[in-house]
Amino acid sequence: MKTTVLKWTMSLLFVGMSSLMGQQQLKAQWMQAEEELPFPPPTMPKPLLAPATEETEPGPLPPALAPKVVPAPYRLDNSPPATSPAIPLIYPHERAQLDRQTACSFFGQHFSLYYHTRMSMSLPYRASEAEISQLWAKLQRSPYQLVLKQLRRQARNLRLNDWGFALLVHETARRIYPRDVRAQRLYEGLMLSQSGFDLRLAMQSGKLYLLMPAEQVIYGATYFRREGKKYYVLELGARSPRVEEARVLDLPGISNGRKKLNFELAEAPLLPGKQLIRKLRFYYRGQTHHFEVPLNQHLLDFYRQYPFVDLEVKFGAPLSEQARQALLPQLGRLVADMSETEAVNLLLRFVQTAFEYQTDGEQFGEETYMFAEQTLYYPYSDCEDRSVLFAFLVRELLGLPTIGLVFPGHVATGVRFSRPAEGAYVQYRGEKYYLCDPTYMYATYGTVMPEVAGQSVKVVMYE
């Protein structure tokens, strides 16, 4: 999936610069990296209440949802999730070459990982360069390729993207080296670099960190600039740590990879788990519509492990197949005989009124961007979350091109109709994209919220 972002001339992103120029160390393999303050998360002074047009419809509004962060209303669905034939993680002739086994659990997917005693190691807290190099060489001489094959096969079974694969590597690192975080980092570095990723290992105060470049901005993460690239400091399974300075360790073979970490999702991971049913209700033109949408708790847990990355990642991500097959037919029946503009208005009303509004600061204590699946799960959502879900519904149900529209303090969606329409629009690549605001209560297509009328706009494009 290719994404393109057109930013304002005056970019919203800024970087606090505090350069620490590299100094040659006594050991040639150790270098001081340049360090910069992280990109701060985008700030949006959003309204505390969802704005509404003066025109409202008579009739019942959706009932109040649950208190903060506790999703409701739900009922449990005990039916087993859909599965597809999985390829074996290991074959008998490979298993015969390995002498150890450990149980792993990856967001509800339980499996056994086989490895070899020669991969066992322990790193002292104040490990020297020589000790780290020796253990790295030991790992390289072990049959780690057989472990990597198991990881790649599991990633294909679960339909994992780059970030999912990195988390899978981390889970197996925790199981093989349960009490040695430094050994986990060496293992992660080997597995990811041998999977083609551009990667470095850095050390600070006895701790080892992964340094990886990414295709997207990771907000709030420290990064080091080296060889013209930004290497983000990552601690898989946890928030990115703040590291003021570090020494980069150049280990044999670790810099062979060229891939940047890509957070885009072409498809939702296929994870097992207990299913939740979300009940939704909205009112449109004299009728109240009730929907039920199944959600996977393990998939939602996976999304919670996502770093704060660019908004186009969320705009381009699909719903899980299970949620998609439940929600789209129910909405599809309502728009089946409608014109494009009328169908867009119905989808707007659904997103505007089936979900209760609250800012991320109120719900989570900080700004974040949610996947469409998360918007279906959490009791509250704000402007960019609703725009992501609405854009997905328009693309899938109506087949109309959409773009994200980012105003100062607000996010909406642009829809390109197949025929001329009326109302406010954004001209993009020679085409008219009509403003659709799933946060502006009861607004129809082409209606602009007064607070953003005449403001500059940033286009988020995903292909």
CATH of the domain at 407: 3.10.620
Whether residues 237 and 278 share a domain: the answer is no
Domain annotation covers residue 262: no
Domain annotation covers residue 143: yes
Domain annotation covers residue 9: no
Whether residues 193 and 320 share a domain: the answer is no
Q: What is the pLDDT of residues 133-158, one digit of tens each?
A: 899 999 999 999 999 999 999 999 99
Whether residues 199 and 315 share a domain: the answer is no
Whether residues 405 and 289 share a domain: the answer is yes
Whether residues 108 and 223 share a domain: the answer is yes
For residue 27, the enclosing domain spans: 16-38+84-249
Whether residues 293 and 227 share a domain: the answer is no
Domain annotation covers residue 57: no
Whether residues 210 and 289 share a domain: the answer is no
Whether residues 23 and 117 share a domain: the answer is yes
Domain annotation covers residue 426: yes
95 falls in which pLDDT band (50, 70, 90)? very high
- pLDDT score at 327: 96
Residue 254 has a CB neighbour count (10 Å cut-off) of 21
Domain annotation covers residue 329: yes
Q: Please state the domain count of the chain.
A: 2
Q: What is the pLDDT of residues 3-46, one digit of tens each?
A: 323 222 222 222 222 222 222 232 323 444 444 455 555 655 56
Positive or negative torsion for Cα 370, 375, 381, 383: positive
Positive or negative torsion for Cα 448, 449, 455, 456: negative
Q: Which amino acid is at 116?
A: H
Whether residues 311 and 454 share a domain: the answer is yes
Task: Pick the closest to residue 248 from 205, 297, 211, 296 (CA basis).
Answer: 211
Q: Is the peptide bond before 92 cis (omega within 30 degrees of 0)?
A: no
- pLDDT score at 241: 84
